[in-house]
Structure 1
Amino acid sequence: MSAYRTVVVGTDGSESSLRAVARAGALAGACGATLVVACAHLPTEEDDRELSRARDVLGDEAYQVVGSTPAEETVRHAGEVASEAGAGDVRTVAVLGSPVEALLDVVRREDADLLVVGNRGLNGIRGRLLGSVPADATRRSACDVLVVHTTG
């Protein structure tokens, strides 16, 4: 099996997701792979009631990034984290949509052979009942998925 060529990692700017970014950066650097750091975001004109309802149900696991400007800032900072961790070739992308759909779209567009996600949301009751980004991405991804232990 050859080394990974293109690695995609998702971030929402949280401390947990940045730990996954750092791990993906180190791995991409060791493999000589391109690292694509992605952040999904909602449009700013999204119905505030829907966003509020999602945050009420999901609490800290709610999708937080609203608007392309915060998403661009999130991936810019995450790209720096990845470079500091050892990634040589880092690209960043902010994608409109839900986290899982956006990550899988980036994986397809980039023809990635590895998706890296943090484990936040896997252990709680909410994640088991409602699903979580790492669980859903792992189930639906067409490429290898590395789930990084990012929570205590």
Structure 2
Amino acid sequence: MLQRYKNILVPVDGSHESELAFKKAVAVAKRNGDDTNLYLVHVVDTRAFQNISSFDTAMVEQVTETAKKTMDGYANQAKEQGLKNISYSVEYGAPKAVIAKDLPEEKNIDLIMIGATGLNAVERLLIGSVTEYVTRTADCDVLVVRTDLENKPALNKKDKRK
């Protein structure tokens, strides 16, 4: 029996690793058929704004606008490759909880495809990686993407720019 996923969640944060996860998720969604839903999410970590004494809503709006443009680009790429059911959102909160619990429950996600690491190396050192948390706590399947579409490791920055 072939496992078919109906609702695939891909968190994207602008990192090379999240882009690899996106590309592989598109390939998986295409293989799973026209009724597969690809759901992209960018989570704005609101904790990053808590320490700013002169909190400015314009800053949040700018971050949100940038994220929406990025998400539009990803959605267009998926459509160009023949996917029909693509949606995205920009969420606010703790990325770990949003990706591992909130969205999978809300969207009936049966597969999360996530990059091995994201942009925030400091958070990873201090409080642990989002990917590690998601793999431990999500109730659905989680695929950690470490390679490109040819299954070659994405190890050095020179290769990442291709």
Unaligned runs of 5+ in 1: 51-65
Paired residues of 1:42 and 1:98 also in contact (CA < 8 A):
yes
Percent sequence identity over aligned pairs = 28
Q: Give 1:37's aligned residue.
A: 40
List structure 1 runs of 4+ shifted beyond 6 angstroms. Answer: none
- Aligned-partner residue type, residue 20 of structure 2: R
Deviation track 1:56-87 (CA, whole Å, cap 9, x = no partner) reads xxxxxxxxxx7322222222122233334553
Alignment of structure 1 residues 1-152 onto 2, 5 Å: 2-32=3-33, 33-43=36-46, 46-49=49-52, 67-104=63-100, 105-120=102-117, 127=124, 130-150=127-147, 151-152=154-155
Unaligned runs of 5+ in 2: 54-61, 148-153, 156-162
Deviation track 1:103-138 (CA, whole Å, cap 9, x = no partner) reads 1311111001000101116xx897476311111001
How much is the aligned-residue C-alpha RMSD, in angstroms? 2.8
Cα distance, 1:24 vs structure 2: 0.6
TM-score for the superposition, normalised by structure 1: 0.74
- Give aligned pairs, total: 135
Cα distance, 1:3 vs structure 2: 0.6
Paired residues of 2:41 and 2:90 also in contact (CA < 8 A):
yes
| Structure with the greater alpha carbon radius of gyration | 2
- 1:119 and 1:128, CA in 2 relative to 1: closer, same or farther beyond 3 A? same
TM-score for the superposition, normalised by structure 2: 0.70
